[in-house]
């Protein structure tokens, strides 16, 4: 009798059998069976629920309460925030790819509005919005299977949607991939957003929503985690040298895109727009869309304070969008030295002229009309031109913040140096002021100032330069001050 299959036939059969097993295996993997149930752990920013250790999907029950609460927006400033869970941004939700989420949205009986939730992690119409429309004092329940791993924004989508978002209704949901995320030492939750208030930035009291500013996309506040200073002082994020940090960043908007930057650090890995892949490495500033996210990971090599900003800089400088990460641990001077020296720099043209002079036959040619004479105890003697150049720099670094660019001062606060009768009347006194600062009432050009100028710890050479400079700038005309004169005043 012939064998049922010849040899080739047997090989083909075996191969087909393996293929069948393979596809069966794949199929199995795709539809992992949901086992058991658990209540989601929810956290307020900047904290994140612990990583998921399960290697199977489960039913996750989320209970989230919408509440309208008057709370701090900045020092002395409050706002009626509409919240998912009592704070802005809303609670962080962490689930695993394949989980079945049973969402219970509670609207507090004290609410004035209907609210709902649109989670960008949902596959289904409205991201859950229609199924979750909830009147004050009601609870809605709906379920969804999280099919796509990634970091997603959720927000209220009750019309007018912009208003509900502007009042604080947004948060993040992380869908961890099946294989989990690589372990890191610290994870934090930071969400940027804007507030449109009728008052300007810092105007005290309870602030009302300003529709026109919102339409114009001109917020009074741009903040991290719902208020100015949420990540400053005691509330700064913390980490240690050698640690790896992961930031789950979101942008609630409602309008602005964030150019997110961490001053002094580089993002080693970026999941652009919060997707499941590391899409870029070694990034300085990353874009986060309104209603979008980013996952950023970096290792800290050097201790110190690092600053989180939206690099659209006036948002950081004038609207509150700034936070800190404080890193403790041992210095590593080979990576970052800190300041190694601070020397006087006279500008390249000065130097070149100096070289030419030295090369010129017949010795030094004095530059400027009032050379400052003398043996100055080791310090390089400075001529008038050098004194003025150095003085200008000392002024720019030490005085301009108060006395202003053209020495005009600020009315009632900082007296003018420009055409100041007080300054020009007494050279020695002006040296003493640059040396020790000044406090108590002074009259400058007929106006009385009673404020304090701090001691600035300048060297004698810097003092000679800056006093020479201010006495010969901004319309002032006087004689130069030598280092010797400064030393004499110091000795008194
Ligand atoms: C932090 C602000 C601040 C800085 C920085 C500062 N000053 Fe002043 N300065 C003041 C104030 C305030 C007064 C008036 C003090 C008072 O009321 O007693 C003053 C007064 C003076 C006066 C006398 C009043 C006048 O207008 O002639 C001189 C001169 C002067 N400063 C020079 C300097 C120089 C030079 C520097 C930089 C090296 C400097 N100041 C840096 C705040 C400052
Ligand atoms: Cu709402």
Tell me what pLDDT residue 354 has.
46
Decide: 424 and 471 in contact? Cβ < 8 Å: yes
Ligand 1 center–CA 382 separation, angstroms: 24
Q: Smallest Cα–Cα separation from 155: which of 83, 257, 60?
A: 83
Q: Which ligand has its closest atom nearest to the C-alpha of 159?
A: 2
Decide: 129 and 87 in contact? Cβ < 8 Å: no
Start-end of H helices in 135-201 = 161-166
Tell me what pLDDT residue 365 has.
40
Q: What is the Cα–Cα distance from 314 to 381, expressed in whole angstroms? A: 43
Beta bridge partners, 38, equal 60
When the candidates are 1.10.760.10, 3.40.50.300, 2.60.120.10, 2.60.40.10, the CATH number that belongs to 358-491 is 1.10.760.10
Burial class (CB in 10 A: 0-12, 13-18, 19+), 233: exposed
pLDDT of the chain, 492 residues: tens digit per residue:
455 556 766 666 666 655 555 555 444 445 689 999 999 999 999 999 999 999 999 999 999 999 999 999 999 999 999 999 999 999 999 999 999 999 999 999 999 999 999 999 999 999 999 999 999 999 999 999 999 999 999 999 999 999 999 999 999 999 999 999 999 999 999 999 999 999 999 999 999 999 999 999 999 999 999 999 999 999 999 999 999 999 999 999 999 999 999 999 999 999 999 999 999 999 999 999 999 999 999 999 999 999 999 999 999 999 999 999 999 999 999 999 988 888 878 777 654 544 444 444 443 443 433 334 333 344 456 788 889 999 999 999 889 888 998 999 988 889 999 999 999 999 999 999 999 999 999 999 999 999 889 888 899 999 999 999 999 999 999 989 999 999 999 988
Q: Which ligand has its closest atom nearest to the C-alpha of 116?
A: 2
Start-end of H helices in 360-420 = 384-398, 400-403
Rg (CA), the chain: 33
Domain with CATH 2.60.40.420 in the chain: 37-185, 187-328
Tell me what pLDDT residue 345 has.
83
Extended beta strands in 148-232, E state: 150-155, 170-176, 186-195, 205-207, 221-224
Tell me what pLDDT residue 14 has.
62
Q: What is the Cα–Cα distance from 213 to 219, expressed in whole angstroms? A: 6
Decide: 456 and 347 in contact? Cβ < 8 Å: no
Q: Does the structural domain 187-328 have CATH classification 2.40.70.10? A: no
Q: Does the structural domain 37-185 have CATH classification 3.40.50.300? A: no
Query: DSSP state, 28?
Result: H
Domain with CATH 1.10.760.10 in the chain: 358-491
Tell me what pLDDT residue 31 has.
66
> Could you identify the atom of ligand 1 that is nearest to the CA of residue 430?
29
Ordered DSSP codes for 260-327: EEEET--EEEEEGGG-SS--EEEESEEEE-TTEEEEEEEE--S-EEEEEEESSHHHHHHS--EEEEEE
Structure token digits, residue 447: 């106006």
Task: Name residue, tokens 């050009």.
Answer: 445
Structure token digits, residue 409: 């001062």
Q: What is the Cα–Cα distance from 142 to 129, expressed in whole angstroms? A: 10
Q: Smallest Cα–Cα separation from 271: which of 259, 288, 290?
A: 288
Q: Which ligand has its closest atom nearest to the C-alpha of 155?
A: 2
Tell me what pLDDT residue 360 has.
40
Ligand 2 center–CA 225 separation, angstroms: 18
Ligand 1 center–CA 415 separation, angstroms: 7
Decide: 241 and 302 in contact? Cβ < 8 Å: yes
Decide: 195 and 223 in contact? Cβ < 8 Å: yes
Contacts of 241 (CB under 8 A, 6+ apart): 300, 301, 302, 303, 327, 328, 329, 330, 332
Q: CB within 5 A of ion ligand 2: which residues?
A: 115, 156, 158, 164, 169
Q: Smallest Cα–Cα separation from 102: which of 110, 111, 93?
A: 93
Q: Which of 430, 451, 453 is the best mutation target for the ligand 1 pocket, counting ligand atoms within 8 Å of the beta carbon and taking the most?
A: 453
pTM, to two decimals: 0.64
φ/ψ of residue 29, rounded to 5: -65, -40
Q: At what angle do helices 384-398 and 348-359 cross, to 10 degrees?
A: 160
Burial class (CB in 10 A: 0-12, 13-18, 19+), 312: middle
Q: Which of 396, 402, 404 is the best mutation target for the ligand 1 pocket, counting ligand atoms within 8 Å of the beta carbon and taking the most?
A: 402
Decide: 60 and 40 in contact? Cβ < 8 Å: yes
Within 6 A (CB) of ligand 1 lie 398-399, 401-403, 414-417, 420, 422-423, 430, 433-434, 438-440, 442, 444, 449-454, 456, 466, 470
């Amino acid at each position: 009798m012939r064998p049922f299959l010849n040899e080739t036939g047997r090989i083909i059969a075996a191969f087909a059998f393996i293929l069948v097993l393979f596809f069966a295996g794949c199929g199995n993997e795709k539809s992992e069976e949901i086992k058991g149930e658990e209540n989601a752990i929810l956290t307020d920013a900047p904290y994140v629920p612990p990583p998921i250790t399960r290697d199977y999907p489960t039913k996750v029950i989320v209970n989230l309460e919408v509440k309208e609460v008057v709370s701090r927006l900045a020092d002395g400033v409050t706002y009626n925030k509409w919240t998912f869970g009592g704070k802005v941004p809303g609670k962080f939700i962490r689930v695993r790819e394949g989980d079945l989420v049973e969402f219970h949205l509670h609207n507090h009986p004290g609410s004035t509005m209907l609210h709902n939730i649109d989670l960008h992690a949902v596959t289904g119409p409205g991201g859950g919005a229609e199924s979750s429309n909830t009147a004050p004092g009601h609870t809605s329940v709906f379920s969804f299977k999280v099919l796509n791993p990634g970091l997603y924004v959720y927000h209220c989508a009750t019309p007018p949607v912009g208003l509900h978002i502007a009042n604080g209704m947004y948060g993040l949901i992380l869908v961890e991939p099946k294989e989990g995320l690589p372990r890191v030492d610290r994870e934090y939750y930071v969400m940027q957003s804007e507030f449109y208030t009728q008052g300007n930035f810092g105007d005290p009291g309870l602030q009302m929503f300003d529709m026109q500013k919102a339409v114009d996309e001109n917020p009074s506040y741009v903040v991290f985690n719902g208020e100015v200073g949420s990540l400053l002082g005691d509330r700064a994020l913390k980490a240690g040298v050698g640690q790896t940090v992961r930031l789950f960043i979101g942008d609630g908007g409602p309008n602005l895109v964030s150019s997110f930057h961490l001053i002094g650090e580089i993002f080693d890995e970026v999941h652009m727009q919060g997707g499941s892949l590391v899409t870029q490495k070694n990034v300085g500033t990353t874009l986060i869309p309104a209603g979008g996210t980013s996952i950023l990971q970096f290792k800290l090599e050097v201790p110190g304070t690092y600053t989180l900003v939206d690099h659209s800089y006036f948002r950081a400088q004038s609207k509150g969008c700034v936070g800190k990460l404080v890193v403790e641990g041992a210095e590593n001077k080979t990576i970052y030295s800190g300041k190694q020296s601070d020397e006087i720099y006279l500008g390249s043209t000065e130097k070149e002229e100096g070289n030419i002079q030295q090369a010129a036959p017949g010795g030094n040619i004095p530059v400027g009309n009032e050379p400052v004479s003398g043996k100055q105890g080791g310090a390089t003697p400075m001529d008038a031109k050098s004194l003025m150049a150095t003085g200008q720099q000392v002024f720019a670094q030490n005085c301009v913040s108060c006395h202003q660019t053209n020495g005009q001062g600020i009315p009632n606060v900082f007296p003018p140096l420009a055409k100041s009768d007080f300054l020009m009347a007494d050279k020695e006194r002006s040296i003493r002021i640059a040396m020790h600062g000044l406090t108590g009432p002074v009259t400058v050009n007929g106006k009385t100032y009673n404020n304090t100028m701090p001691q600035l710890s300048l060297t004698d050479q810097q003092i000679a330069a800056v006093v020479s400079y201010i006495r010969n700038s901004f319309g002032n005309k006087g004689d130069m001050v030598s280092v010797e004169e400064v030393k004499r005043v110091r000795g008194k």
